[in-house]
Structure 1
Amino acid sequence: MRTSTLLTLLSSLLPIAIQQVAAAPLAERGVNVGWPYGSQKIRGVNLGGWLLLEPWITPSLFRATNNDGIVDEYTFCQYQDRGVASAALKNHWETFIVENDIKWLSEAGLNHIRIPIGFWAYDVSGGEPYIQGAAEYLDRAIGWARKYNVKVILDLHGAPGSQNGFDNSGVRGAANWATNSNNVYRAKKVVETLSRKYSDPYYWQVVTMLALLNEPATFQNDQLLQTTRQYWYDAYGAARYPWVPEGSASKSGLALVISDGFQPLNTFNGFMTEPNFESVFIDTHNYQVFNDDYQTWDQNRHIRGICDRAKTYAQSPLWLMVGEWSLASTDCAFWLNGRGIGARYDGTYPYSPRVGSCQGKSGKGGDFSQDYKNFLRRFWDVQTQSYEANGQGWVFWTWKTEEAAEWSYQTGLINGWIPYNPNEHLTSYQQVCN
């Protein structure tokens, strides 16, 4: 097919509102992603805070700057001597995640890793101060994943201008991604670059999924919502047919992931469904910490909250995975809400009423009570079972932290509130949730 003909076809196809249909069985799907999605569950973990900095995951990196104005990766690169920042980043990339981490999580029964990366690993044409180099380490991790038979979900976690204003997008503050069409175009081109490279047969059965953009904050305004909806169509075309610029109509075999953007799942009824859109997943994130109400919930209410929300996942019009979740039941993790910002739970977050002390709720875990550890195990049991029963599986946030044990899969394994066998449950979600 000529390139011009393909582009005409795509431009007419992608904006169409497709009638809602059930997710097609694997055998009927037109792309071969190298993993039996639909018959085998995703059990994974995020490598958060590695190739895209987050102050709460590695506070030591930010403390070492002695500059309270350095609150994200953008300012980390902007407000330090470039040589100092570059050396710190390289050391972090070299040491925070190593081969033994991938071996460890594989031996713990996990079959996927989700690797967040920012657009700037591939494009700083907008004059952003970011320091490049993370792409090399992404390839290193993919090599380790191949060795230990772990599948890789590539995740575009930060877009030009920021899609949400969170520090995990690279820059904290306003969400300006949707206000500039060039920002949107640049994000799409990064997706195209990732798909073109990792759709190569060399990566088949290793890199199996590509997330087109993490957590666009579509609740903020209608422009962001509408821009994101159109972006899913455009980014799908760029990722499914990444060789169009070279004149080829070849199709990528990657499963493609869109975010729910904090919107109800029923708003995606009829959106990007089979057969016109192939192997599209929707990614939802489930945290019970980021408002005042959650801080007042007791342990049983947190468990019930998981049960209630997970039941809605079974109604998803697209294959669904819970791409981020944790064992946190408070926002007590140091700098979780941003560098220099306190916690709602202990009343140090602006305008939030105090519920109690954060002592024993977060930190390295040495002062966790046995009752709290038992709750963490129940919370893990109920979430993992619920997400597998009502969706295609789960990816925990995150593998490693410096000072937030309730957010660290690795720390949970070490301390016993996460089992080494994901099939091992002490609590049945069916008994708790029904």
Structure 2
Amino acid sequence: MKYSLISLLALAGAVSAWLPADRNLFGEQPNSVARSISIGNGRSVKRFTSGYNKIRGVNLGSLFIIEPWMCGDEWNAMGCGGTKSEFDCMMKLGQDGGNAVFKKHWDTWITEQDMDKIKEYGLNTIRVPVGYWLVEDVVDKASEHFPQGGMEYMDRLAEWAASRGIYVILDLHGAPAAQEPNQPFTGQYAPSSGFFQDYNYDRAVKFLTTMTERIHKNTAYRTTGMLEVLNEPERNHPDLITTFYAKAHDQIRAVEQSLNVPADKQLTIQFMDKGWGAGNPRDVLQGKDGVAFDNHRYLKWAPIEHSKTSYLATSCADTFGQDDNKPIVIGEWSLAVDTAVEWAAEWDPTKDDNKAFYKQWWAAQVQAYEKDLGWTFWSWKTQLGGDWRWSYSGAVDAGVIPKDPNEAAGLAKC
């Protein structure tokens, strides 16, 4: 069933939802430049600049959807070597054997010590990529093969985040039948994208509504405030916007209304922005508040000159969120460079002479992405040896990223 724009507008009403600043979740950050405003009789109050309450975070990549390219040692140790995706590994190991190795992975890939380090490194947000199979009722068990039991670990992670005041963005990263072909981030190395049909749209909506209810009913999710309806969809599917995006928005709000969730406690619903190339969500979201957008800024694949000067200049001048696709979080970015040059002497991350460039480029990207809501780096940890360009923790440990993200302003030199 397709939802009309009129029905969407009628249902949504005056939804405000919530972002970290609305609950002062991150507190007074060190970069919160305050100015005193007189309120009479010698009294004053603080007001903060736009540097206050920026999202500064990391993706917990390969926790609930493993991407073999970034954690080959873990993949092989699990017995998944030689397979391309979680679906394929489960086919190889069988349901019981696969469940056992994936539970061990969920129990060890991200720990409480990781969460403590995320806080120590000045970060305040985690973006958690998950697959639709987290909600097991959505899975066609006769034809789809995924690990079971992940929800318990998702609940645990949400509580770990909440107890540390860390904001959580929950991201539907892997959709039913895959929203991109030949991509292990969908959980299945599918030869074609089968997501773009009503049956699978409905299954994705069921995932989103189930998680919406869980977030509001389970106190572990008290700092989970943003739900991304779909990660990186394939281009050129117009009904993604008119049917799936509209229905997802409509049904998430319907669940919240049925639970009597007040407007200021409703989830921020997030969509990939028009710049991704799969359509403009504002076509069905005009007049809506309580929404946000996502864009992924990988200069590694950008049509630019692949030189250090070009990377810095591009990031310093970067703009995004056109056509009212704001507020926006840059949900994925890294320090990876073009494959053709990434191991040349002037780019080699293992050479100390190159660290100054990567530090400046990190800062230039941070400065750009904090023009709006902020950013989440891809990813927290990897198993790529000395190549920390995809690993925030690895880059901090290598002395490339400072423990205090506030240093970006002085390092970017834009």
Normalised by the length of structure 1, the TM-score is 0.78
Q: Distance between the aligned counterparts of 1:15 and 1:30, measured in 2?
A: 10
Matched, 1:125 2:159: no
Q: Shift of residue 11 of structure 1? A: 7.1
Secondary structure in structure 1 of the residue aligned to 2:300 = coil
Distance 1:147 1:360, change over 3 A: farther
TM-aligned CA deviation for residue 315 of structure 1: 6.2
1:381 paired with 2:363, answer: yes
Q: Note the 1:177-188 alignment, pairs <5 A.
A: 177-188=194-205
Q: Distance in 2 between matches of 1:407 and 1:58?
A: 11
Query: Quick one: structure 1 residues 60 and 242, their matched pair in 2 at CA, closer, same or farther if it must change by over 3 Å?
Result: same
Alpha-carbon offset, residue 388 of structure 1: 0.5
Q: Does 1:60 align with 2:60?
A: no
Report the equivalent of 1:143: 159
Map of 2:375 onto structure 1: 394
1:266 CA drift (Å): 9.3
Query: What is the Cα deviation at residue 265 of structure 1?
Result: 10
User: Hey, what's the Cα distance between the residues in 2 that align with 1:428 and 1:415?
Assistant: 17
Residue 300 (structure 2) pairs with residue 289 (structure 1):
yes
SS of the residue 1:51 aligns to = coil
Which of the residues 169, 174, 177 maps onto 1:161? 177
Conserved in 1, the CA contact under 8 Å of 2:162 and 2:221?
Answer: no
Please say if 1:328 is aligned against 2:341: no
Judge conservation of contact 2:180–2:192 (CA < 8 Å) in 1. Answer: yes
- Distance (whole Å) between structure 1 residues aligned to residue 314 and residue 381 of structure 2: 25
**Structure 2 SS opposite 1:161:** coil
Equivalent positions of 1:149-298 (< 5 A) are 149-165=165-181, 166-200=183-217, 202=219, 205-218=222-235, 221=236, 224-242=237-255, 250=261, 253-260=266-273, 263=276, 267=280, 271-274=284-287, 277-290=288-301, 297-298=306-307
Residues 330-375 of structure 1: CA distance to partner in whole angstroms, max 9, x if unpaired?
Answer: 34xxxxxxxxxxxxx2xxxxxxxxx57568967xx6xx11222111
- Further displaced range: 394-403 or 315-324: 315-324
Alpha-carbon RMSD across the aligned residues, in angstroms, is: 3.2
- The alignment partner of 1:160 has SS state of coil
**1:419 and 2:413 matched:** no
CA contact (8 A) 1:33 1:204 kept: no
Range with bigger deviation, 398-407 or 118-127: 118-127
Please tell me whether the aligned partners of residues 336 and 342 of structure 2 are also in contact (alpha carbons under 8 angstroms): no
User: 2:37 maps to what in 1?
Assistant: none
Percent identity between the aligned chains? 28
Give SS of 1:241's match: helix
Counterpart-to-counterpart distance in 1, 2:274 and 2:325: 15
Matching of residues 27-38 of structure 1 within 5 Å? 30-33=15-18, 35-36=20-21
Structure 1 residue 199, shift from structure 2 partner: 2.2
**Partner of 1:306 in structure 2?**
315
Runs of 5+ in structure 2 lacking a partner?
Answer: 23-49
1:103 counterpart (116, 120, 124): 116
State the alpha-carbon separation in 2 of the partners of residues 240 and 285 from structure 1: 26
Deviations 1:250-306 (A, max 9, x none): 5661111011275359945565144xx221111000112237x56x61111112222
Does the CA-based 8 Å contact 1:177-1:184 persist in structure 2? no
TM-score in terms of structure 2 length: 0.81
User: Aligned runs of 1:346-385 on 2, under 5 Å?
Assistant: 357=343, 368-385=350-367
Which residue is 1:22 aligned to? none
What's 2:83 paired with? 70
Aligned length: 377
**Change over 3 Å in CA distance of 1:326–1:313 after alignment to 2:** same
Farther off after superposition, 369-378 or 78-87: 78-87
Letter in 2 for 1:58: C
**1:297 aligned partner, one-letter code:** H
- In 2, are the aligned partners of 1:211 and 1:258 still within 8 Å (CA)? yes
2:389 is aligned with 1:406: yes
Distance 1:126 1:360, change over 3 A: farther
Give distance in 1, aligned partners of 2:241 and 2:82: 30
Contact 1:266/1:316 (<8 A) preserved? no
Quick one: distance in 2 between partners of 1:9 and 1:152?
29
Residue 48 (structure 2) pairs with residue 48 (structure 1): no
> For 2:324 and 2:313, how far apart are their aligned partners in 1?
20
Q: Counterpart of 1:328 in structure 2: which amino acid?
A: A
Seen in structure 2, the aligned counterparts of structure 1 residues 9 and 96 have a Cα distance that, compared at 3 Å, is closer
Give me the whole-angstrom Cα distance separating, in 2, the residues matched to 1:60 and 1:74.
18
Equivalent in the alignment of 1:14: 8
Contact persistence 2:245–2:281 (CA under 8 A): no
Question: Once structures 1 and 2 are overlaid, which stretch shifts more, 82-91 or 280-289?
Answer: 82-91
What secondary structure sits across from 2:226 in the alignment? strand
| Residue equivalent to 1:317 | 325
- Residues 215 and 262 of structure 1 are in contact (CA less than 8 Å); yes or no, is this contact kept in structure 2? no
Residues 329 and 105 of structure 1, relative CA distance in 2, 3 Å threshold: same
Give the conservation status (yes or no) of the 8 Å contact 2:155–2:220. Answer: no
Q: Distance in 2 between matches of 1:55 and 1:413?
A: 23
- Asked if structure 2 preserves the Cα contact closer than 8 Å seen for 1:41 and 1:392, the reply is yes
